């Protein structure tokens, strides 16, 4: 949630003179804050949470002295966007106001603070639901919790806020009354009641906000040229990058910093996490994690690319194929029910159904290296560490425990090396099975 709010803050800036954002946190939330938030924020501790005014006071301790204007946002309002914040800032500057705030004419104000205006329409104060008089709470103009302040005035007046007689909290909204006492203007910028300024107080509201953000994200990609057969079933993280003419079919989930290049189709039932997919690829009913897929690759159905996998141009990874920390060269074919772990396969190599790299000896992972134009027969088991040379072949059911030289054939259990022309055995060959 906080990252979305900081994205909106970044979108409100009109030049490079804006100071870094300040995130105010309390001790219970310290462990939840993660590095890498947008805007490289400064953190300020509110040691004893005593209300919103106390939170702003804590934030001001980290504010540079030369800052002349302060924008205050709630950390649980993820749907707010930069242009809305910019409108509040511009209104304060235009009116030379001590405070400009965002307000919403809500259909159901509930327990939200009401904007109280004079008979002339000027903003006089905010009536909190716990403290307001009955006639004040009849208003449906609510305080949206977004403020722009004259920083000099704010530094002076924040220390004079008195605790609420009802709750003992230090309300930030008390500053509206103090500004009017000082003869300063308080401006209000009205916005539609579309949920943009809604705060998140429980898991139900969180789910509603996630839905709204998903719709916003999907629409932006479709406007930019991405086709979604059923947008309601497509789940995209905010950092996902999609080129034009990408097609997303139903039940697709793209997570983390995934990128999909132009012309690729992501088929039904696919999950891709922190991976790169090249141009003109087809991924269908599969899972791809922390992997790189080059152009014109076919994956699936029911493939699993685990972390560290790199699939070369034109390769084919088919039904129930699994790769882990493996590199496939150009044009490699791995079509059926196989596992390649800690392996490297050269260009145009063919992987027979049921092929396994036995990469774990119970203590250590070992690598398997397979050359170009190799042919791995059905049910080949490669016991790592082992190498298979260029143009080499293995017979069906071979258990390869020693390296196979280039151009040679390995057959049997354990596999023995033969010349390729000797396989399959002739009619009079004593080694031919009965």
Convert the pLDDT of each residue in 87-145 to its tens digit.
999 999 999 999 999 999 887 767 777 888 887 888 888 887 766 666 666 777 888 98
Residues 406 and 68: their CA atoms lie apart, in Å, by 74
pLDDT tens, 342-365?
A: 999 999 999 999 999 999 988 999
pLDDT value of position 384: 96
Partner residues linked to 143 by β-bridges? 103
User: Residue 428 pLDDT > 60, yes or no?
Assistant: no
Q: Give the helix/strand (H/E) hosting 210.
A: helix 203-223
Task: Tell me if residue 304 is catalytic.
Answer: no
Query: Among the options 304, 310, 335, 336, which is catalytic?
Result: 336
Q: Name all domains of the chain by residue range, CATH numbers in brackets.
A: 2-191 (3.90.550.10), 225-422 (2.160.10.10)
pLDDT value of position 424: 57
Residues 409 and 388: their CA atoms lie apart, in Å, by 10
Contact 241, 235 (CB under 8 A): no
pLDDT value of position 101: 94
pLDDT value of position 141: 83
Q: Work out the average pLDDT over 154-180.
A: 91
Q: Work out the average pLDDT over 385-395.
A: 97
pLDDT tens, 138-152?
A: 777 888 989 999 999
Strand, coil or helix: 88: helix
Residues 368 and 365: their CA atoms lie apart, in Å, by 10
Residues 156 and 347: their CA atoms lie apart, in Å, by 71
pLDDT value of position 402: 95
């Amino acid at each position: 949630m906080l990252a979305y709010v900081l994205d909106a803050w970044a979108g409100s800036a009109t030049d490079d003179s804006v100071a870094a954002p300040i995130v105010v946190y309390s001790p219970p939330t310290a462990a939840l804050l993660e590095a890498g938030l947008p805007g490289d924020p400064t953190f300020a501790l509110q040691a004893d949470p005593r209300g919103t005014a106390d939170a702003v006071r804590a934030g001001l301790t980290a504010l540079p002295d030369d800052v002349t204007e302060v924008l205050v946002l709630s950390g649980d309002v993820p749907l707010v966007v930069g242009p809305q914040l910019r409108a509040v800032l511009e209104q304060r500057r235009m009116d030379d106001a001590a405070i400009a705030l965002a307000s919403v004419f809500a259909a159901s104000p509930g327990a939200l603070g009401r904007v109280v205006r004079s008979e002339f329409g000027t903003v006089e104060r905010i009536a909190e639901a716990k403290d307001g008089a009955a006639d004040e709470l009849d208003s449906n103009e609510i305080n949206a919790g977004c403020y722009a302040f004259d920083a000099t005035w704010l530094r002076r007046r924040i220390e004079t806020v008195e605790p609420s007689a009802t709750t003992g909290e230090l309300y930030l909204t008390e500053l509206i009354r103090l500004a009017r006492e000082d003869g300063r203007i308080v401006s209000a910028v009205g916005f539609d009641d579309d949920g943009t300024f809604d705060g998140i107080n429980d898991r139900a509201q969180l789910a509603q906000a996630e839905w709204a953000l998903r719709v916003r994200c999907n629409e932006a990609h479709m406007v930019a040229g991405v086709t979604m057969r059923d947008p309601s079933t497509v789940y995209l993280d905010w950092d996902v990058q999609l080129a034009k003419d990408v097609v997303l079919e139903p039940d697709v989930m793209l997570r983390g910093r995934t990128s999909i290049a132009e012309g690729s189709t992501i088929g039904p039932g696919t999950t891709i996490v922190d991976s790169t997919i090249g141009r003109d690829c087809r991924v269908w009913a599969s899972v791809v994690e922390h992997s790189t897929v080059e152009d014109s690759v076919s994956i699936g159905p029911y493939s699993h690319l685990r972390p560290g996998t790199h699939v070369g141009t034109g390769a084919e990874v088919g039904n129930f194929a699994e790769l882990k920390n493996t590199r496939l060269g150009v044009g490699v074919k791995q079509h059926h029910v196989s596992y390649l772990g800690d392996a490297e396969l050269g260009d145009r190599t063919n992987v027979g159904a049921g092929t396994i790299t036995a990469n774990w000896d119970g203590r250590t992972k070992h690598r398997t290296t397979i050359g170009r134009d190799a042919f791995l027969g059905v049910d080949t088991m490669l016991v790592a560490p082992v190498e298979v040379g260029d143009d080499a072949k293995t017979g069906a059911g071979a258990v390869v425990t020693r390296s196979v030289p280039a151009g040679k054939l390995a057959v049997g259990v354990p596999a023995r090396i033969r010349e390729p022309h000797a396989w399959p055995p002739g009619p009079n060959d004593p080694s031919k099975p009965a």
